Amino acid sequence: MQTLTITQPDDLHVHFRDGDAMKSVVPYTARQMGRALVMPNLKPPVTTVAQALEYKKQIQAATPENCAFEPLMCLYLTDKTTPEMVREAKAAGIVAFKLYPAGATTNSDSGVTDLFKLLPVLEEMAAQGILFLAHGEVTDPEIDIFDREAVFIERIMKPVLAQVPNLKVVFEHITTAEAARLVCESGDNVAATVTPQHLMYNRNHILVGGVRPHFYCLPIIKRETHRKALLDAVTGDKSHKFFLGTDSAPHPKHAKENACGCAGMFSAMTAIELYAQIFEQAGALDKLEAFASQNGARFYGLPENPRKITLVKQPQRVAESVQFGESVVVPMCAGEELAWSVISID
C-alpha cells in the first residue's frame, strides 16, 4: 500500500470563529497542522494586541492535549491602524496584519476604505518585518464579482508594491491567472496562499445543475482556465512562492442553505488529504511537502515543524456534516470519497 511521509504542514490561512463554534473546529486543524495563521475577522474584529492574545488563549484552550499545535496571530487592518500599533504588534509576537477591503467578505464591514491613506502604516510594517496579508478584491459595485481580483491587482496591489517595495506581502487565497502571474513576476517579498477549492473546482461547480451553496466562497471560484493556472503555479518553476492556506471558513448549515447564503468552505477536517489528492492528480506529489510544510515556514521566517505526518493511499468517506457549536457544518467534499488518509503524526 502506498504511503507518503512529509514534514508536518502549516495552515497559513484559517478561520476558527469564536465561542462554542470555535471549540468545535479547532481540533481538526490542531490534529493535522503544526501551526495555523488565524484570521481576525470576528465580530468585533481582532484589532488590538490584547484582543489577539486573548483569542490565542481561547484557541489554545480548545486544542486537544496531545496536539503540539501553535496558533499564529494577526491583526485586522482598519482605517484607524497606526504605525505605533504596528510596533506594538511586532513586540508582542503578532506576525501580520490582514487587509479586508470594506465589504469584501464575511465580517469585513470594518475593513479598509482607502489603503493608500495607510501607506505610513505599510512602511512601518516593512521596517518591522511584519507581514501584510491581502484579501485581494475591490468592492466597487460596478465591477463584476469574477473580475474583482484582477482589478485589485492593477488598482491597488501593483501601486502599493511600487510605493513600498520592501513590504513583505502574502496575496491570500489567490484565484486567477493574473494573481499567479503577479506573484511569479514579483520579488522574493511577495508570495501567495492557495486553497484546495480553488485548485479543485471551477465556477461550474457552483452553478451547473442549480445553485450549490456549499461551493460558494469569497473570492469566488473562477473559470477552468484560472484553476489550471493555479495548478501550474503551485507545481511549476516558481512553486517556492506558493504555500498552503486552506481559508477553511465554517458556517452553520442553515446559514449556507439560505436565501442569502454566506461565503466559505470548511476544509480543515481533511485538509492535507485534499491537497495530496490534488497534487497526485497533477502528477506532482513530490512537490506537496514543499507547498504544505516548507515554503510558508521559510517565507514567515519560521523553522520547519519537527514532526512528520504520514498518509496512506486508502480511501476515506467524508462525513455529511459535523458538529459546529449548537448547529452543524457541512465539510468540503461532504459524502464523497477521498483517495488519501492520515495514519500517523510523530
Query: Which residue positions form the known binding site?
Result: 13, 15-17, 41, 98, 135, 173, 218, 247, 251, 263
- Which residue numbers belong to the known binding site for Zn(2+)? 13, 15, 98, 135, 173, 247
Q: Which cell goes with 156?
A: 491597488
Separation between Cα atoms, residue 197 and residue 194, nearest integer Å = 9
Q: Which cell goes with 184?
A: 511569479
From 109, 147, 247, 346, active-site residue = 247
Q: Which cell goes with 39?
A: 484570521
In 3-state terms the chain splits into helix, strand, coil percentages (rounded to 5) of: 40, 20, 40
Q: Name the H helices within 95-176.
A: 119-128, 148-152, 158-163
Q: What is the CA radius of gyration of the chain?
A: 19
Q: CA separation (Å) from 11 to 35, 82, 120?
A: 6, 28, 29
Q: Which cell goes with 74?
A: 494577526
- Which residue numbers belong to the known binding site for substrate? 15-17, 41, 135, 218, 251, 263
Active site residue 247: yes
Q: What positions carry a catalytic annotation?
A: 247
